[in-house]
Amino acid sequence: MQDNIINNMKRYAEYLRKSRKDIEAESHGEGETLKKHELILSNLYNSMGISKTQVDVFREGVVSGDSISSRPVIQELLQLVEQGVYAGVFVVEIERLARGNTLDQGIVANAFQYSNTKIITPLKIYDPSNEYDQEYFEFGLFMSRREYKTINRRLQKGREISATQGKFPGSRPPYGYKRKKIENDKGWTLEIIPEQAEIVKMIFDMYTYKNMSPTEISKYLDSLNIKPLKSETWSVYSIRDILSNPVYIGKIRWKNRKIVKVVKNGSIKNTQPKNKGNDVILSKGIHQPIIDEQTFYIAQNKRRDSNTSPIPSIYNIKNPFAGLIRCAKCNRIMIRIQPNTIACTNPKCNNISTRMDILEDKILESLKTWLKNYEKEINETSIEQENINDIIHIKQTSMKKLQSELIECDKQIEKIYDFLEKGIYSIDVFTDRKTKILQKQQELLKKYSEIEKELDNIEQTKKAKVSLIPQTKDVLTAYKNCNDPKMKNYLLKSVVEKIEYLKTEKCYNQYGKLDNFELLIYPKF
């Protein structure tokens, strides 16, 4: 090796980077990674007759993200390499330089090639002016990227499986909880922090039962000098996140916000928009809930109603049907146009208006009729509960089998990479095997997602049947004794999604049939 480097007091760099794999090895007692690497490289350049004073050391710890843009130390090193400051860069393996995409690999390769800077590893010295070394270097970066993607894919799949098993797959626990290692099993769960849990209960109570807005709640908590997790004051967004997080009723939600890469001002940025797809995981957690389900779902109804309320909060609601009644012809929200009349305001629509007191009587009558029929239906189908439980058990067993097959696919992918590196597989054989395994993996994931969705639908239907009947009875009783239009509106929205209204004939005198309109009521289940 010494013959490959001519030492004329030139400058060299030493690049040390810790990977997540190193962190895991350290947790098993294998020693501090960077110190070991530093010793290996110092022995290497000493054997070449290069003194320590000739070497500039660049240390980089674990950072989130695989791109050069998230690694400031490698950016600084590459700038100096491009300027021709160093004759060579010492690194334990070329994979430490870049595991990013093709663009990152090109940036690294070009920096060393055009500055004619050597890459010196314990196994080989890469000379960028040598065509074979250049190809070997580029192939090494390519394989490093493939290995990274395989490891990352396996990691993400492991987190998804953990979430479906009720474990907590995240690294940052929500307010009110701390992470706890599961005894005699892999993975983590959540453990309640009593003092924070009391604050969570207070937030739900203030929002759900005291009608305080997220802004009012945040100001109240600040006035009590109660601190959130990562800042000095509470924000409206943090309050909303707590109110919408099903973790507080003992559930695990995963993939609600995926990391999506976007190009902004010429550079790639990570964003986390809400996932509007059907692949969000929501499963029963193994941790203890802080909030009861009734309180949580009342809060969700209030949040949804406040987001869709057609009347700003500074005004008093005088229409008990605000945001509820839709025109059956044009689907426009119908509004109160006179003290006692509701109508569709679309000038091109001929749906006829009606008196609000007549409409109210018919809505309540329809709800009572629906409730009576629905209760009868529930009583008649209750004997099928055993069959439903059998179906749930069969589907859960199928999901466990699919999980095992998905884990086996990951093992197979890892194995074919080993075969490629050892020369057992050619590139063509490797590509063919990988394509088949990935196709099988996609089919398994699709089946898993379908069964998961079916189970969720069964669970939601069961809950609706159990809770909707008593809730509707309570609403009808409370509505009868209520005179406040705003409270009436809230009561109706707690059990009704929307109401479609259709009237095609006018009533010209008091002897006409005033309720000659049709209503289609959509209950919330």
With b for 16 or more beta-carbon neighbours within 10 A and e for fewer, the 235-270 pattern comes to eeebbeebbebbbbbbbbbbbeeeeeeeeeeeebee
Longest dimension (CA), the chain: 112
> Which tokens in the block code for residue 199?
């604050």
Domains of the chain: 2-158 (3.40.50.1390), 177-250+285-308 (3.90.1750.20)
Between 525 and 477, where is the model more confident?
477
Lowest mean pLDDT among 16-30, 218-232, 400-414, 503-517: 16-30
Residues 6+ apart with CB under 8 A from 170: 254
Task: Give percent of the chain above pLDDT 90.
Answer: 15
Residue 258 has pLDDT above 70, yes or no: no
Q: What is the pLDDT of residues 20-35, one digit of tens each?
A: 666 655 555 445 778 8
- Which stretch, 98-107, 200-209, 268-277, 370-379, has highest mean pLDDT? 200-209
DSSP string, 321-351: TTTTEEETTT-PBPEEEETTEEE---TT--P
Instruction: Work out the average pLDDT over 341-360.
Output: 88
Distance, in Å, from the CA atom of 449 to the CA atom of 465, rounded to the nearest integer, reads 24
Q: In whole angstroms, how large is the CA radius of gyration of the chain? A: 32
Distance, in Å, from the CA atom of 180 to the CA atom of 288, rounded to the nearest integer, reads 12
> Which tokens in the block code for residue 213?
């807005």
Q: What is the pLDDT of residue 200?
A: 94
Q: What is the pLDDT of residues 211-245, one digit of tens each?
A: 788 888 988 898 888 889 888 889 888 999 999 89
Q: What is the CA 77 to chain-centroid distance, rounded? A: 35
Q: Residue type for 101, please? A: N
Residue 291 has pLDDT above 80, yes or no: yes
Q: What is the pLDDT of residue 247?
A: 92
Residue 277 has pLDDT above 60, yes or no: no
Residue 197 has pLDDT above 90, yes or no: yes
Residue 289 has pLDDT above 60, yes or no: yes
Instruction: Work out the average pLDDT over 264-271.
Output: 49
Between 455 and 195, where is the model more confident?
195
Per-residue three-class SS string for 132-177: HHHHHHHHHHHHHHHHHHHHHHHHHHHHHHHHHCCCCCCCCCCCCE
- Measured distance between the N- and C-terminal CA atoms of the chain, rounded to whole angstroms: 73
Q: What is the pLDDT of residue 10?
A: 85
Distance, in Å, from the CA atom of 504 to the CA atom of 344, rounded to the nearest integer, reads 13
**What CA–CA distances, in Å, run from 384 to 57, 392, 464?**
71, 13, 16
Task: Give percent of the chain above pLDDT 70.
Answer: 77
Q: What is the pLDDT of residues 491-506, one digit of tens each?
A: 888 888 889 999 988 8
Distance, in Å, from the CA atom of 224 to the CA atom of 242, rounded to the nearest integer, reads 18
Strand-strand pairing, 260-264 and 335-338: unpaired
